[in-house]
Chains A and B, each alone.
Chain A
Amino acid sequence: MGKKLLLKNIDIPGISSYEVYRREGGYKSVEKVLAEKNPEAVVEEVKKSGLRGRGGAGFPTGMKWSFLAKPEGVPRYLVCNADESEPGTFKDRYLMEHIPHLLVEGMITSSYALGANKSFIYIRGEYFYVLRILEKAIKEAYDNGWLGKNIKGSGFDHDLYVQIGAGAYICGEETALLESLEGNRGNPRIKPPFPAVAGLYGCPTVVNNVETIAAVVPIINDGGEAYAAIGVERSTGTKLISASGHIKKPGVYEIELGLPVEEFIFSDEYCGGIINGRKLKAVVAGGSSVPVLPAELILKTAAGTPRIMTYESLADGGFATGTMLGSGGFIVMDETASVLRNLHTFARFYHHESCGQCSPCREGTRWMDQILSNILKGNGKMKDIELLWDIQGNIEGKTICPLGDAAAWPVASAIRHFRKEFEEFIENPAAVKDVKHYYSVNNISEA
């Protein structure tokens, strides 16, 4: 059994309530930092832990915190990114729904470290019911003196609010999120300035993912070194993985970074293997944006070493033969799945979600969606493959925000590793209809 830090108490009945959460040691990290009265030491502890942002980019959290500008008399903000809209990712929802006080506690402890007297959790609009759960937890925290004025007599004031979104993947990008929080369209800003200097309302702001903020709690309780002792090299600590697709046990798993990919997919402790005794075909390992890999390359690197769940190992081989840990949205496809059709759902997604500011992204995502749709309707031509390759190459690196790259990578990797499938679809559209692309709904219970 791997060590659990975030979900260790998840099965305790009533853990979503304040009483049980507190009884199990909740809010200790707040007590600790308020007693020690040394915000810089909290930042140091997070640096020592090696914690990297869990929202997808994997940027070292302690370093991000130390970049926060601190001009006199200007408020600072902490904003938690709970937009969670990257296809394949549902870990933040799980955490907020089942153990909401862990996030609230992390927000208070982190805000103390950053000197923020006001913080926001920006949650995607579709998670309205989770908003209710968070609001209840926040009210309990206020009622018990963990929020508000002069928290536990420390002189530290803090107010925490949840802000609801309204359905836009792009608002997960941190500057689009800040725009949305200010009541605007979610158009990403040009960086620099970075939020650490000019973020919410032009004030210095830290934006962190839900899981990142939650991880601050065990880091403060047990020390950064204890956290860094888990994992491999620069991938320290534990990570929540959202596992879905053709596996026996889909769900959210907390793994120690360094777990072999093969064990994650096939062992009964995790995904439990592929449903209906079928073979593994492909995996999208870190949410829709990361390159898709065929079975051989997800289990072993091109050099033949077993791949493990770390930022470094998954990226081994670069984009030629590797992928990324990303948000930890782990989508598994068995031998009956069509990588091409799955790709089309992604292409349609990015087309829908492009904010439209940059021409390469706005036009390119529309074009890729149309070409793929055409191929799948049986009207594809061989030269479409080259055209897709060309379009994705003209988006990547040429846009304001990384959504453009995120739209390009799945297309590039599908062509790189599954070109044969494209060719088969194009050459023989009639056969396409015979391929069993998905399970009939009635069979799902077999899994």
Chain B
Amino acid sequence: MSKITFSEETLKTVREIIARYPEGKQKSALIPLLHIAQSEFDGWLSPEVMDYIADILHIKPIEVYEVASFYTMFNLKPVGKCLIEVCQTSSCWLMGANEIVEHIYKRLGIKPGETTADGMFTLKTVECLGSCGTAPMLMIGADYHENLTFEKVDNLIEKCRQSGKRSSYLVDNMLG
């Protein structure tokens, strides 16, 4: 594994973020930095990556681990290149979220929490993403895909395969 460091360009962004907070309150930058780290280092936060962030913010590694493990968007284990997050809460469920999950299972053979053998897809069920009026919905990277039908889901899967890119919350419109 190559040494864990941000590029010069990313470091510039990191410094800008840290400068937002008053003197001595740099820990406020932790969550934004973890997002950047997850996006840059293969979609998950390894202990080494978290130690690096602790270093940047001059805090103890445990302070990073306890925060990273609290928030559902941080992956503490590797995930597939394309992370499909399907909302399963009330309005989505009323409009057929279960069937969307079943359909993905039929297509990819993975249940929530599982990753395809080729490491391409991970399926995750999540709680209300604030898209209840356009239910059912799922999220890939930063993109919301709403009013889902089986056909739309098939298209998304196909597009993910073709693009081959790793999904990231920091990249909008990744499937075009």
Contact at B94–A129, with CB atoms within 8 Å?
no
* Contact B149 A441, beta carbon cutoff 8 Å: yes
A284 touches B90 (CB 8 A): yes
Chief secondary structure at chain A's binding surface: mixed
- Known pairs A163-B31, A438-B98, A440-B99 / 8 extra A-B pairs, C-beta < 8 Å: A128-B172, A168-B70, A169-B127, A250-B132, A341-B93, A342-B90, A345-B90, A348-B127
- Are A164 and B128 in touch, CB under 8 angstroms? no
Q: Is the CB of A185 within 8 A of B72?
A: no
Q: How far is the CA of A416 from the CA of B25 in the complex (A)?
A: 48
19 contacts between A and B (CB under 8 A): A88-B91, A128-B172, A132-B172, A166-B72, A168-B72, A182-B25, A182-B28, A185-B67, A242-B133, A244-B135, A245-B132, A252-B133, A284-B90, A288-B128, A331-B90, A348-B127, A440-B96, A441-B149, A444-B95
Q: Which of B22, B94, B148 contacts A438 (CB 8 A)?
A: B94
Central interface residue in B20, B25, B88, B90, by most chain A CB within 10 Å: B90
CA A180 – CA B170 in complex, angstroms? 19
Contact of A250 among B129, B134, B139 (CB under 8 A): B134
Chain B 22-44 residues near chain A, CB threshold 8 A: 22, 25, 27-32, 34-35
Most chain A Cβ neighbours within 10 Å, of B74, B93, B135? B93
Q: Whole-angstrom distance between the alpha carbons of A341 and B127 in the complex?
A: 15
A447 to chain B, nearest CB (A): 9
- List CB contacts (< 8 Å) of A316-367 with chain B: 329, 331, 333, 337, 341-342, 345-346, 348-349, 352-353, 355
Among A180-228, those with CB < 8 Å from B are 180-186, 201
Q: Please indicate the chain B residues that have their CB under 8 angstroms from the CB of A251 in the complex.
A: 133
A interface footprint on B85-109 (CB within 8 Å = 1, 0 otherwise): 0001111011110111001000000
User: What are the residues of chain B within 8 A of A442 when measuring CB–CB?
Assistant: 149-150
Chain B residues within 8 Å of A, Cβ to Cβ = 20, 22, 25, 27-32, 34-35, 57, 63, 66-67, 70-74, 88-91, 93-96, 98-100, 103, 126-136, 139, 142-144, 147-150, 169-170, 172
Closest A residue to B91 by CB, please name it: A244
Interface size band for A: 35 or more
Q: In the bound complex, how far is the Cα of B137 from the Cα of A87, in angstroms?
A: 13
A contact residues vs B (CB 8 Å cutoff): 75, 84-90, 92-93, 118, 124-129, 132, 159, 161, 163-169, 180-186, 201, 242-246, 250-252, 284, 288, 329, 331, 333, 337, 341-342, 345-346, 348-349, 352-353, 355, 438-442, 444-445
**Which single member of B93, B100, B129, B131 contacts A441 (CB below 8 Å)?**
B100
Residues of B within 8 A of A201 (CB): 22, 25
A161 near B20 (CB under 8 angstroms)?
yes
Residue from B31, B90, B150 within 8 A of A183 (CB atoms):
B31
Q: Do A124 and B35 form a contact, CB below 8 Å, given A166-B72, A438-B98?
A: no
B89 near A349 with CB under 8 A, answer: yes
**Chain A: minimal CB distance from B79 (Å):** 14
With A163-B32, A182-B25 given, is the CB distance from A90 to B132 under 8 Å? yes
Partner of A89, one of B94, B103, B130: B130
How far apart are the CA atoms of A84 and B169 in the complex, in Å? 18
Residues of B within 8 A of A243 (CB): 133
Closest 8 CB pairs of A and B: A166-B71, A183-B27, A167-B72, A183-B30, A167-B73, A244-B132, A250-B133, A87-B128
Please judge, given known A-B contacts A183-B28, A242-B133, whether A87 and B96 are in contact too, CB under 8 Å: no
Q: Which residue of A lies closest to B33 (CB)?
A: A183
* Contact indicator A129/B90 (Cβ below 8 Å): no
Set of chain A residues within 8 Å of B99, measured between Cβ atoms: 438, 440-441
